[in-house]
Structure 1
Amino acid sequence: MTMQQERSTAAPRPARPTLEQLRAVAQPPEVRSRKNAEHWTAQLYLRHISIYCTALLVRTRISANGVTALMILAGWCIAASLLIPGLWGAVLALVFSQVQLYLDCCDGEVARWRGTSGASGVFLDKVGHYTTEGLVALALGVRAVGELGLLRTDPGTAYPYLLAGALLASLVLFNKALNDMVHVSRAFADFGRLADTAQATAVDGGVLGAARRAVRFVPFHRIYHSVELSMLAVVAALVTAGAAVVGVTGPVPVVGDPGLLGERWLVLLLVPLCLLSVIGHFVAIMASRRLRA
C-alpha cells in the first residue's frame, strides 16, 4: 500500500479535535505501556509534547506516511551532522535525534487518529530506523578519521577508524534485525504475534537470568539507538575539547591525532561492546519464550 493508496478504516472524526479527543485515540494505554516499542525519551517527555504537533498535523492533508518520511529525513540529518567537525556537529546531531523521535511519535498518532495504520507505515518506520542507525554508526567512523585527506596521505591512520565505523554499523543493524527475525520466525511457524510485554521476553532463571538482571545496572546494550549514539558523540567531542585544553594526547599511535581523542576512542570502544551486545541478545532470544508458541 503506497502513501497515495492509504484508506481510512475509522469512523469520521472531527477535523479540529481537542487534545483530549486526540489523546484518547492516538495515545491509548496499550501504546503508552509498550515495553520495547517505546524509547525511554518517548516515555519520559516526548509523548507528553508530541500530541501538540499531532493536533496541527491532523488539520493538514499530510498523511501518516508523509510524517514518517519527514522522520526518515530527520534521521539522515543526524548522520550528516556528525560529519561536521567539532562539538557543534555533535550537538546538531543530538538535536536532529530528538526531532526524529518526536516525529516518530507523531506519525503513529496521526495514523491512529485517521485510522490509516497499515503495513506500509510499519515498513517505512523500519526503513527509517535501520538506515538512520546504520548511517549514524558509519558517520562516527568517518568523524573519527577527521580529514578525509588522510585516506591518501596517511591511510594507516585513517582506515582503522573507517573499518571500525563499518563494523559498528554492521553490528548495530544485525542487532536490530534479530528482533525482526523473531517476528518472522514466529509468523512462519504460525505462532501468532509476540506480545510486547516483559513476560514474553523474560529469560528463565539460572545463570542467564542472573546475567540479564545484572546488565540492567550497566545497560550498555541500549546505547546503539541514534539518540544514545548522538549523546555519546557529544561526550566524545567534550572529551576531545577538554584534552586539548589540558594537553592530554592519549596513547599514540593507537588513537593517533590527539585532536580527535574522544571521537577515536569512542568508535574503537563501541565495536567490542556492540559485539558483546549482539551475542547477549542472541543468547537471550534463544533462552526466552520468544520462539515458543
Structure 2
Amino acid sequence: MSTQEPQSHPTLSELRAKAQPIEVRSRKNAEHWSAQLYLRHISIYFTMLLVRTRISANGVTGLMILSGWCIAASLLIPGIWGAVLAVFFSQVQMYIDCCDGEVARWRGTSGAKGVFLDKVGHYTTEGLVAVALGVRAVGEWKNLSDDPAGAYPYLLAGTVLAGLVLLNKALNDMVHVSRAFNGLDKLADSQAATALNPGFVAKLKRAARFVPFHRIYHSVEMSLLALVASIVTAIATSVDAAPLIGERWLIVVLAPLCLLSVIGHFMSIMASRRLS
C-alpha cells in the first residue's frame, strides 16, 4: 500500500476526526448558524471528494469566493427567481466555506494565505450583496435613465449599507490587529473572551437578544430577506400596490438598522475585555 494512500483516500471517520475537531465545531463566532445547524453534517462528504483531487485548500476558497459573487449577481435579476437563485448560491458559498478549512486541516496546509482569502471572500461578497440590494430596489435598468431622481435614494442606501456592513465586519478584525500591535495574545473565540464588563452596555446587549437585527448582515440572511421582499412585492403587485414595495422598504430599513448595529458593536468592544 502506498504511504500516500491514507492522505488522499481517508475513511470518513478519519477525515471527520482531523478535519472537524471539537474545537472547530464549538467555536463561538467563527461558525455561522447554518454551518452549526446542518452544513457541517454534510460538508464532510464533499470534502471527502476534494481531498482525492489535486485542488488546494486555497483553490477551494477561490470557489467559495466565486459562489459568493454569484449571490450578488443573482440579485440583479428582477423578481422572485433572482432572489431564489441568490439564496441557493448563499448556501453553496457557506457549504464550500466549510470544506476549504476541512481540506486544509486534513492536508496540514492551514496558513495566513487561506485566512486572507477567506476574508476577501466574505468582505467582497457581503459588500456586493448590499450594493445589489440597492440596485434591486431600482428595478429595471431603464429606470436609471427614465427616473434618475427616483432611483438615486435606493442606490445611495445600498452603497451606505455596503459601507456599514464592511465597517461592522472590520471592527472584529481591528480588535485582532490592535492586540497584535500591542503584543497581546490571540483572542480566544469563546464566550468568556468577549464578555462585557457589567454596566449599561451589557444591559443593552442582553436586551438586543430579543430583537437580534444585528445578525442579519451576512450573505445568507440578506439573501433570505431579499426573497421575502420579492414575495411581498409579488403579493402587493397583485393588488395594484406601489411597484417594488418589498425591495424598497427592505433597503430603506436595513441601512439605518445597520448603523445602529455598528454603533452597538463598537460600544460592546470598548466595554469588553477584548482590548486588554
The TM tier, using the shorter chain, reads over 0.9
Matched, 1:286 2:237: no
Which stretches of structure 1, 4 residues or more, deviate above 3 A after TM superposition? 11-14
What amino acid is aligned across from residue 100 of structure 2 in structure 1? D
Q: How far apart in 2 are the matches of 1:115 and 1:220?
A: 37
Q: 73, 83, 101: which one pairs with 1:90?
A: 83
Kindly report which structure 2 residues correspond to 1:96-175, keeping only aligned pairs within 5 A, or say none.
Answer: 96-175=89-168
Shift in Å at residue 150 of structure 1?
2.1
Length-normalised TM-score, structure 2: 0.97
Shift in Å at residue 155 of structure 1?
1.1
Aligned to 1:271: 255
Structure 2 counterpart SS, 1:14: helix
Q: 57, 80, 97: which one pairs with 1:64?
A: 57
Kindly report which structure 2 residues correspond to 1:167-186, keeping only aligned pairs within 5 A, or say none.
Answer: 167-186=160-179
Aligned to 1:261: 245
Deviations 1:55-103 (A, max 9, x none): 0000000000000000000000000000000000000000000000000
Aligned pairs, number: 273
Q: How far apart in 1 are the matches of 2:126 and 2:6?
A: 36
Structure 2 counterpart SS, 1:199: coil
Q: How far apart in 1 are the matches of 2:8 and 2:247?
A: 48
Structure 1 counterpart SS, 2:29: coil
Q: How far apart in 2 are the matches of 1:207 and 1:283?
A: 10
Q: Any conservation in 1 of the 2:168–2:262 contact (CA below 8 Å)? A: yes
Aligned to 1:199: 192
Matched, 1:210 2:194: no
Shift in Å at residue 14 of structure 1?
3.2
Q: How far apart in 2 are the matches of 1:140 and 1:211?
A: 29
Q: How far apart in 1 are the matches of 2:210 and 2:14?
A: 39
Shift in Å at residue 217 of structure 1?
1.4
Structure 2 counterpart SS, 1:200: coil
Shift in Å at residue 41 of structure 1?
0.3
Stretches of structure 1 lacking an aligned partner (at least 5 in a row): 1-10, 250-257
Deviations 1:40-65 (A, max 9, x none): 00000000000000000000000000
Structure 2 counterpart SS, 1:197: coil
What amino acid is aligned across from residue 36 of structure 2 in structure 1? Q
- The alignment's C-alpha RMSD in Å is 1.1
Stretches of structure 2 lacking an aligned partner (at least 5 in a row): none
**What is the percent sequence identity of the aligned residues?**
74
Q: How far apart in 1 are the matches of 2:63 and 2:21?
A: 24
Shift in Å at residue 13 of structure 1?
4.1
